[in-house]
Amino acid sequence: MKYKVKLPYFEGPLDLLLFFIKRDELNIYDIPIAKITKDFLEYIQLMQMLDLEIASEFIVMASTLMQIKAKMLLPKPNVENEEEEEDPRAELVKQLLEYKKFKELAGEFEKMEDEASKIYYRGYFKHDARDYYDENETYEFLKDVSLFDLLTAFKKAFENASEKEVHEIEVQNYKVEDEIENIINRLKIKSRFSFSEFFEEYHEKIRIIVAFLAILELARLKKIKISQQDTFGEIFIERAFEEQERYAANAI
């Protein structure tokens, strides 16, 4: 059940508490615990009325607040001990201050994000002069790889593998030459297309493989360029043969 109700949204119980403190101009070091507990519970009730799912953190906080409230109501123990007696609210106050600090920093981050977004870097490098740039390394020309990428790759490899087991492959007679011609023809119409766009119309695995081989062959012959902008990003096939060459390309 997903209700899209525009209720003032809070990141979590701490955010909600900070809201009450700000709204009512409360002293964060001397939180009127009874009042704030009441407000907090009312908010939860409102969420319930609206049939919104209440994150368990809110429930946990509600019980914490009630515990603090109960402790505050207890008569103070003997006076000599008072110095060592910690205010039941101390832990919560500490947590609120810590959270408040990062909430404010997030505001700073937002400003930095804004400023940085006004800066643009160079966007196109295709015709930069570079010698001993090995064409075979094109596939290797990717961005830095993180551990997260490694894990994602692992997951992907296994997902693909299990898929393979499920589907029966109907053997068809596809030829790499036919696919090469098909790709060349498509590149005449559009000089660049993405992998996913290209494979959209291919449904049989064997044909995808044949088409893929065709792409590799074309790349080897330097008739096409294969490029990728981000790791795991879309891969593009680009025409690398010139206008006059296009007719000759048919003859491959």
Q: Which 39-98 positions form the footprint of another protein (CB under 8 A)?
A: 52-53, 55-57, 61, 86-87, 89-90, 93-95, 97-98
135-154 residues in contact with another protein (CB under 8 A) are: 137, 139-154
Contact between 13 and another protein per CB under 8 A: yes
Q: Quick check: 14 and 99 in contact, CB under 8 A?
A: yes
Residues in the chain: 252
CB of 78 or CB of 117, closer to another protein:
117
Interface size with another protein, residues (CB under 8 A): 88
Q: Quick check: 237 and 187 in contact, CB under 8 A?
A: yes
HSE (side-chain half, CA atoms, 13 Å) at 172: 16
Distance between CA atoms of 135 and 28, rounded to whole angstroms? 64
Contact between 28 and another protein per CB under 8 A: yes
Minimal distance in Å, beta carbon 231 to another protein?
8
Minimal distance in Å, beta carbon 136 to another protein?
10
Q: Quick check: 224 and 215 in contact, CB under 8 A?
A: yes
Distance between CA atoms of 171 and 169, rounded to whole angstroms? 6
Contact between 167 and another protein per CB under 8 A: no
CB of 181 or CB of 202, closer to another protein:
202
CB of 92 or CB of 181, closer to another protein:
92
SS3 label, residue 25: coil
Among 45, 48, 182, 231, binds another protein (CB under 8 A): 231
CB of 35 or CB of 103, closer to another protein:
103
Q: Which of 43, 22, 28, 10 is nearest to 89 (CA)?
A: 28
CB of 80 or CB of 137, closer to another protein:
137
CB of 33 or CB of 181, closer to another protein:
33
Minimal distance in Å, beta carbon 74 to another protein?
15
The b/e string for 34-51 (b: 16+ C-beta within 10 A; e otherwise) is eebbebbeebbeebeeee
